[in-house]
Structure 1
Amino acid sequence: MTFTANIVFFFTFLIAIIVPITSQPCNSYRFSKNIKYAACEDLLILESSLHWNYRPSSGVVDVAFNKANAKDSSWVAWAINPSSKGMVGSQSFAVHKNGTIKAYTSPITSYATMLQEGNLSFSIYSLSTSYTNGGIIIFATFQLPPNKTVVNHAWQEGLVSEDGTLKAHSFSCSNLQSYGTIDFISGKVHGILNTVSWGIMMPIGVMMGRYLKVVDGLGSTWFHLHRACQSLAFLIGIVGFGTGLYIGNHSGVHHAPHRCVGITLMCLASAQVLVAVCLRPKKDHKYRIFWNIFHYIVGYATIALAIWNILKGFDILNVCNVWKNSYVGIIISLATIAVILEVITWIWICNKKRVKNSQDHVAIGEQQT
């Protein structure tokens, strides 16, 4: 396989691995009675996952909270806090298993709660539980508060004493980190779309334009690959940007820095596309150097801002560190590959110049003789 073919295969492979990165194990879980949920999220901490169907027209959500490897004589709870962060004010769905298994609701009004049964601050349409393959599942259908689709949530487990009293949960690292933010509309979709487009595909597209064009024999192929990758990334980025605006307008949750940088990114990318498609002068035009400067500055600035905003988005969604660390690992890998390719490119260019100079000297010598 030639060097050119290796380079093309390498970039194709990088793009191909993007799709598996976004897959999640919770999608493979099968509920009894063929119950299906449109969305899910692996909570990872305390071996839990959350599955849901959201009905935008009514604001009703069907939820299945799955706690794997539940202990005997134990309790499990999943709660949302519509108004603030923290334990106090949370509205919980609890299950305790001690010979029999029971599901009920419990509003949390203090840190000393014993998960006493009580009514929640929103309507509950159904609540049930099951114990399957060593796991406890809480099924609930409830009415989300008005204009709230992004809420803080927490999940917890503990033991039940012989007399049926619920014991306090452990204060281990996992038990103290079992909380986050859940977006019942498209927070996960928004994050995946923007991470893949702005944060992965665009840097790969830049690398294509930077390192493929020096390869002999490719001709204009490098340009078509660069343009195709960036165009696809831009289109996916538009969808991701749209989901972000929708979330901000319908959830009541706003994060000014993240939102402002997102709008700036869309403006920069749109300007880049407009200038590249409509205002690109020919290579020998006297203004081509200014076009190149604009193209490089806007391109690299867009990628730098995108990476910052994606990391900011991970913090906003309060996702498990494994996702943020995975993305950081991808960026570090791409940066490392870029450094290696940069060195190879300069060696390649210097060798070509040296060979060309040698050929020129030979040609001049032959002419003189």
Structure 2
Amino acid sequence: MLRFKTLIALCLLFFLTICSASQTSQNQTCSSYEFSSNKPFASCRELGVLDSFLHWNFYSGSNTVEVAFRKIHTAADRWIAWAVNPTAKGMVGSQAFIVFQQNGAMKAYTAPITSYGTKMEKGNLSFPVFEVSAASSGNEIIIFARFQLPANTTVVNHVWQEGPVIGSSTLGVHALSGGNVQSHATIDFYSGKVEAVRGFSAKPYKLKVAHGVLNAISWGTLMPLGMIFARHVKVFASADPTWFYLHVCCQCLGYFLGVVGGIMGFFLRKHSSGMRFSTHGYIGATLLSLATLQVLVGFFLRPKKDHKYRLYWNLFHWGAGYATIGLGIYNVFAGLHLMNARTSKVAYTAVISTLLGIAVVLEIFTCYMVRKRSKSERSEHASGETEGIDNAFAATQEQQMV
């Protein structure tokens, strides 16, 4: 019995020792951390993801904040960033402090983030910045910054991130999963309260992917494919009216998916209040308007083939159709550029290049078939005229003989 009690006591002592060591370790990584410059910071919070910590001093008289953002378990070929977003909860619109190692020295600068395709180029922020610097030690990088908050504001949205450095100075795209899509929070510099933005970043990212896939399939693939059926397949007599149904099927399915993708785009615009409505968005709205007009005119205002207005209808149908295809392909590439989706851009380039190659081959074959058919018709017409002349001459000879 005594041995059993001794064993229980030893286990309890071991557990308390582990807890104490864990707490000591936690304190060393945050409030008890000592900077090499011996600079004291009154407040500190562990940020929860990406092995990051934020230390700060808040000066209420000037509404100024002095921060030290620490990222541990990093490497020399990684960049790190910490940003304040005065207008939204997310990446777009954030005012960033960025650090990376270049030729063995730490480079720190500011960069406003205006789009998802940002290259994080140096620029002034939307609020006064008095200091920005960096330090590194082992596998740890620290960003030091001092700036002024907007008037009467102590609560801000902040974002932190890390990614690869390509070559000596190119900042690569950060990962799009795990902690990299969870590194958002709201912080009150006065009270020290930090609230994680739960479920914020992953959901919009999935919506962006769905938006991109739907629009790449609709405007970027089905619409050009429908054009190929209408222009090149209909020259085959055996394909009539199959080509027409294939054309209508591609255009209608493409339009439906495009509308769904467009609605997603408008939702993303509304959700990301810090995002400016870029050229990509304007082209998307133009595509929806043009395609809707094309559908209405095509189904309800199409005159018969022998109608005097059929030529004008054809001109509108062709013009609007080719404009939709051209703008659609351009906008797919614009969207992929905004997302920095290099692999997807290569894949879509392969798809559209294949469709272009097929269209070129069929265009050559179509021209050959049209010329051959025209030549055959001229030959038959000439043969018919010769036969008619011969018959008339023979009839005249018979009359003279009589």
User: Shorter-chain TM-score: which interval?
Assistant: 0.5 to 0.7
Point out the structure with max Rg over C-alpha. 2
Residue of structure 2 in register with 1:128 after alignment: none
Counterpart among 341, 344, 350 of residue 323 in structure 1: 344
Instruction: Label 1:172 to 1:86 Cα distance change in 2 as closer, same or farther (>3 A).
Output: farther
Q: Provide the rounded CA distance (Å) in 2 between the counterparts of 1:188 and 1:215.
A: 39
How far the C-alpha of 1:231 sits from its partner, in A, is 0.4
Matched to 2:247, the amino acid is: H
Q: Provide the rounded CA distance (Å) in 2 between the counterparts of 1:310 and 1:63.
A: 33
The aligned length equals 239
How far the C-alpha of 1:293 sits from its partner, in A, is 0.5
How far the C-alpha of 1:175 sits from its partner, in A, is 7.9
Residue of structure 2 in register with 1:358 after alignment: 379
Residue of structure 1 in register with 2:286 after alignment: 264
With 171-180 and 266-275 compared, the bigger mean Cα shift is at: 171-180
How far the C-alpha of 1:112 sits from its partner, in A, is 2.7
Counterpart among 196, 208, 212 of residue 217 in structure 2: 196
Residue identity (%): 34
SS of the aligned residue for 1:318 comes to coil
Task: Please tell me the root mean square deviation across aligned C-alpha atoms, in Å.
Answer: 3.4
SS of the aligned residue for 2:238 comes to coil
How far the C-alpha of 1:261 sits from its partner, in A, is 1.1
Contact persistence 1:152–1:180 (CA under 8 A): no
Superposed, 1:281-320 pairs within 5 Å as 281-319=303-341
Counterpart among 95, 98, 122 of residue 87 in structure 1: 98
Residue of structure 1 in register with 2:27 after alignment: none
Q: Provide the rounded CA distance (Å) in 2 between the counterparts of 1:205 and 1:233.
A: 9
Contact persistence 2:227–2:247 (CA under 8 A): yes
Counterpart among 118, 135, 143 of residue 112 in structure 1: 135
Q: Provide the rounded CA distance (Å) in 2 between the counterparts of 1:173 and 1:324.
A: 24
Q: Provide the rounded CA distance (Å) in 1 between the counterparts of 2:49 and 2:220.
A: 31
Residue of structure 1 in register with 2:42 after alignment: none
How far the C-alpha of 1:323 sits from its partner, in A, is 1.8
Residue of structure 2 in register with 1:212 after alignment: 233
Structure 2 residue 272 is the aligned partner of structure 1 residue 251: yes
How far the C-alpha of 1:313 sits from its partner, in A, is 1.1
Q: Provide the rounded CA distance (Å) in 2 between the counterparts of 1:152 and 1:242.
A: 30
Q: Provide the rounded CA distance (Å) in 2 between the counterparts of 1:86 and 1:303.
A: 41
Extract unaligned runs of 5+ from structure 2.
1-47, 52-72, 84-90, 100-109, 112-131, 144-155, 182-200, 392-402
Superposed, 1:88-167 pairs within 5 Å as 111-114=134-137, 115=140, 153-156=161-164
TM-score by length of 1: 0.57
Q: Provide the rounded CA distance (Å) in 2 between the counterparts of 1:152 and 1:187.
A: 20
With 275-284 and 216-225 compared, the bigger mean Cα shift is at: 216-225
Q: Provide the rounded CA distance (Å) in 1 between the counterparts of 2:168 and 2:324.
A: 37
Deviations 1:328-354 (A, max 9, x none): 232233223222211110100110111
Extract unaligned runs of 5+ from structure 1.
1-61, 66-73, 91-108, 119-144, 157-169
SS of the aligned residue for 2:98 comes to coil
Instruction: Label 1:171 to 1:203 Cα distance change in 2 as closer, same or farther (>3 A).
Output: closer
Structure 2 residue 336 is the aligned partner of structure 1 residue 341: no
SS of the aligned residue for 1:217 comes to helix
Q: Provide the rounded CA distance (Å) in 1 between the counterparts of 2:50 and 2:251.
A: 39
Residue of structure 2 in register with 1:22 after alignment: none
How far the C-alpha of 1:217 sits from its partner, in A, is 1.3
